[in-house]
Amino acid sequence: MRQTMRLTADAAGLAEAAALLRGGGLVAFPTETVYGLGADATHAEAVAGIYTAKERPSFNPLISHLASFEAARSQGMFDATATRLAEAFWPGPLTLVVPVAPTCTVSDLARAGLDSVGLRVPAHPLAHALLERTGRPVAAPSANRSGRVSPTDADHVLGDLDGRIDAVLDGGASRVGVESTIVSCLGGVPRLLRPGGVPREAIEALIGRRLEGAPEAGSSPLAPGMLASHYAPRAQVRLNAESLLPGEAALLFGPDAPRGIEAAPSALNLSKSGDLVEAAAHLFSHLRQLDASGAGTIAVSPVPETGLGEAINDRLRRAAAER
């Protein structure tokens, strides 16, 4: 057990967070997608601490976060497509998997021994300030125990990791609410490894071609987000519910209420107006709240598969998967 500090979003909090990271500590920090559990990516023991705190299978590669595209260029090699994507969407909710640069300092452990590296320049001002002050790539998966719902505020982080990490930098609620979109740019073929905060349509419009899917298992490691059961609340999750069964809690989307809503023990709406951006921002915190209500099952209204709906439905399917 260690004492976990809650650091405030000011100069003193940032200085403390950066000092902890530079000293090999574990610091959770806000990004525009979800809170990340950060460690100095160049420091293998510090990175090992992430896997221990999260109880995460150690073969998964982690995303390394940087303050700028400039800093990212010394870690990875950007072909024409990767460069266009970085210029268009960074800082922002996009992760690029690119070949390692000769000057790459990200530890083997953070890359899970691969000759590629996952890089992201987050848009959150506190994340940016922290990365500038730390001056090193910061490896950061979502700041939750492995397989649990991702955290979108500091209380969620402490609920999972209090006593296991050195500090959490409290920056309020995350704006986007789902993790970054992961695109690999290896061998000249851009592939969507995980849908996320940047919609597929925006990426395809920019590069003028369709994104391939993830390669077959075996040719590259599976993302943890690809594990069948992931982002899982304690309750069962039932998708595309047009009506509610007795005792079910309801996760709604849009203006229409499902039949049986009057009897639901608890109900929350991702977005009454049917706005997918608002829905993504509420997804994980609403799942946590409905889970905490004690209902055995959370019934979820249908969510359209366009824009951020692809990432929302991806997370919901994993939350609903057999475990």
Q: Which amino acid is at 220?
A: S
Q: Please, which of residues 203-242 interact with ligand TXA by CB under 6 A? A: 220-221, 223-225
Q: Are 297 and 249 in contact (CB under 8 A)?
A: yes
Instruction: Pick from 140, 154, 198, 250 the residue near ligand TXA by CB under 6 A.
Output: 140
Q: Which residues, 6 or more positions from 83, have their beta carbon under 8 angstroms from its beta carbon? A: none
Is residue 118 near ligand TXA by the rule CB under 6 A?
A: yes
Supply 26's token pair.
């574990």
Instruction: Pick from 104, 109, 120, 233 the residue near ligand TXA by CB under 6 A.
Output: 120
Supply 9's token pair.
């979003």
Calculate ∠ Cα 237-239-241, nearest 5°. Answer: 115
CA–CA separation, 86 vs 305, rounded Å? 25
Report the Cα–Cα distance between both ends of the chain, in Å, rounded.
29
Number of residues assigned to the chain: 323
Instruction: Pick from 40, 179, 291, 314 the residue near ligand TXA by CB under 6 A.
Output: 179
Task: Write out the DSSP string of 108-147.
Answer: TTTTTT-SEEEEE----HHHHHHHHHH-S-EE--BSS-TT
Is residue 182 near ligand TXA by the rule CB under 6 A?
A: yes
CA–CA separation, 293 vs 307, rounded Å? 30
Is residue 95 near Mg ion by the rule CB under 5 A?
A: no
Q: Which does 180 bind (CB under 5 to 8 A by kind): Mg ion, ligand TXA, none?
A: ligand TXA
Question: Least distance from C-beta 214 to ligand TXA, angstroms?
Answer: 9
Instruction: Pick from 33, 81, 142, 301 the residue near Mg ion by CB under 5 A.
Output: 142
For residue 102, say if its preceding peptide bond is cis, omega within 30 degrees of 0. Answer: no
Q: Which does 223 bind (CB under 5 to 8 A by kind): Mg ion, ligand TXA, none?
A: ligand TXA
Is residue 180 near ligand TXA by the rule CB under 6 A?
A: yes
Instruction: Pick from 141, 177, 195, 199 the residue near ligand TXA by CB under 6 A.
Output: 141
Is residue 63 near ligand TXA by the rule CB under 6 A?
A: yes
Instruction: Pick from 4, 33, 42, 269 the residue near ligand TXA by CB under 6 A.
Output: 33
Q: Are 58 and 204 in contact (CB under 8 A)?
A: no
Closest to Mg ion by CB, 75 vs 142, is 142
Instruction: Kindly list the residues in this chain that would bind Mg ion in the complex (CB under 5 A).
Output: 142
Instruction: Kindly list the residues in this chain that would bind ligand TXA in the complex (CB under 6 A).
Output: 31, 33-34, 36, 60-63, 95, 97, 111, 114, 116-118, 120, 140-142, 179-180, 182, 193-194, 220-221, 223-225
